[in-house]
Amino acid sequence: MSGIPRCILCDSSKTETLATRDRRGKALRNVICCQCGLVRVDPLPDTATLQTFYASEYRLQYKRAWHPRPRHVFRDTHGALHRARRLLEFYRPGMSLLDIGCGAGFFLYLLKKLSIDAAGLEPNIGYAEFAREELQLDNIFNGTLMEFSPGRSFDLITINHVFEHLDQPLAALQKMAALLNSQGDILMEIPNIESTYRAPDRIFHIGHLYWFNPINIQVLVQKAGLTIADMQVQGGNGHINLVIRKDPDRVTVSGHSAVAGRLAMLAGNYQRVLTIRRRHTRLRHYTSPAPYRRLLRKCVQYAREWYSVSRSAAPRSIADGVSAEFLPALLAAIHK
């Protein structure tokens, strides 16, 4: 039994196969813990293999490009604007920010325009190179979270669709806590294993090592000694948005009481996740209006991207053009 992987949440070794293929039809086994409902890739790749994969292969597989293409620049700048609006709720003058998994740096590029002290962490060599050379961002660390030693702390950490890629989620949360100031927060967005946004055979991905739902992510955060100040499940895609707080005044329950409390929260979660996933069949999915509405939105989005980038392929020009309309309002909001 000692060689059987144990669940990072509940320590159980009993799992059930949930899927054997990824969204592209390639072999990829995902299992669900039969006690707490946590879903993960099985077997998990070792840390050295992951470092090589994310440093040089992931973007080529996912985006089919070493540097972001013009349409990705347009799309990611829009995403950065959306994230910046969310950030305004937490902004305070002089704050420092770390963006984990900053990609090609478009969010940081926007924050620079807003005069916010921000640093980025990106494991991919090509995207980190693009951020430095094309966007002139000099505060980018090319490496992994566990390697990162900046010699400073931050008021806010943002981690957007990155956490699910990490092979040590509990250690990652503890590392982020160590990088925060005493009153710091983590803004996190992750996919939700309960989401039925995608077709059932288009869910699992080689880079997504863990899948959470709103119940077991709470347990993981508590296990790391942190507090969830706010959690929302987005309409449409079902993504989970979290505000995780580092609170030194929080009274932490320890020992057997803490373990018992976490197990009580997880009771029935395995059956909950399994039921949702089994009910989400191809027939149910494609006889609902959701995939066709999504297809229409995608067609409009791609047409808009094509038209916008056809006028200029220069990355900074595209990013500046997208942000120009919204930048004055963002600047006014942070200086009011």
Angle (nearest 5°) at CA 281 between 286 and 290: 35
Closest listed residue to residue 224, CA positions, set 194, 267, 268, 180: 180
pLDDT tens figures, 115-126 = 999 999 999 999
Question: What average pLDDT score do residues 26-51 get?
Answer: 95
What's the total number of domains in the chain?
A: 1
> What pLDDT, on a 0 to 100 scale, did the predictor assign at position 135?
95
pLDDT tens figures, 127-150 = 999 999 999 999 999 999 999 999
> Which pLDDT band holds residue 5 (cuts at 50, 70, 90)?
confident
> Which pLDDT band holds residue 260 (cuts at 50, 70, 90)?
low
Report CA-CA distances (Å) from 89 to 58, 83, 149, 191, 243: 32, 11, 28, 22, 11
pLDDT surpasses 80 at 18: yes
pLDDT tens figures, 184-233 = 999 999 999 999 999 999 999 999 999 999 999 999 999 999 999 999 99
> What pLDDT, on a 0 to 100 scale, did the predictor assign at position 311?
74
pLDDT tens figures, 148-173 = 999 999 999 999 999 999 999 999 99
328 within some domain: yes
Question: What average pLDDT score do residues 312-332 get?
Answer: 89
33 within some domain: no
pLDDT tens figures, 40-79 = 999 999 999 999 999 988 888 877 778 888 889 999 999 9
The CATH number of whichever domain residue 57 belongs to comes to 3.40.50.150
**Domain ranges, residue 55:** 46-258+291-335
CA-to-CA distance for 109 and 317, rounded, in angstroms? Answer: 12
CA-to-CA distance for 43 and 295, rounded, in angstroms? Answer: 34
Question: What average pLDDT score do residues 220-247 get?
Answer: 93
68 within some domain: yes
Count of alpha carbons within 13 angstroms of residue 154, beta-carbon side: 26
pLDDT surpasses 90 at 28: yes
Torsional class of 247: left (φ above 0), alpha (ψ -120 to 50), beta (otherwise): beta
> Which pLDDT band holds residue 263 (cuts at 50, 70, 90)?
low
> What pLDDT, on a 0 to 100 scale, did the predictor assign at position 208?
96
269 within some domain: no
pLDDT surpasses 90 at 334: no
pLDDT tens figures, 274-321 = 999 999 999 999 999 999 999 999 999 989 888 888 877 788 999 999
205 within some domain: yes
> What pLDDT, on a 0 to 100 scale, did the predictor assign at position 225?
93
pLDDT surpasses 70 at 251: no
Count of alpha carbons within 13 angstroms of residue 315, beta-carbon side: 18
Report CA-CA distances (Å) from 197 to 20, 26, 79, 210: 20, 21, 19, 18
Closest listed residue to residue 84, CA positions, set 58, 68, 108, 101: 108
Closest listed residue to residue 150, CA positions, set 181, 119, 124, 183: 119
Q: Are 186 and 157 in contact (CB under 8 A)?
A: yes
323 within some domain: yes
pLDDT surpasses 70 at 101: yes
114 within some domain: yes
**What is the pTM for the complete model shown?**
0.92
pLDDT surpasses 60 at 99: yes
25 within some domain: no
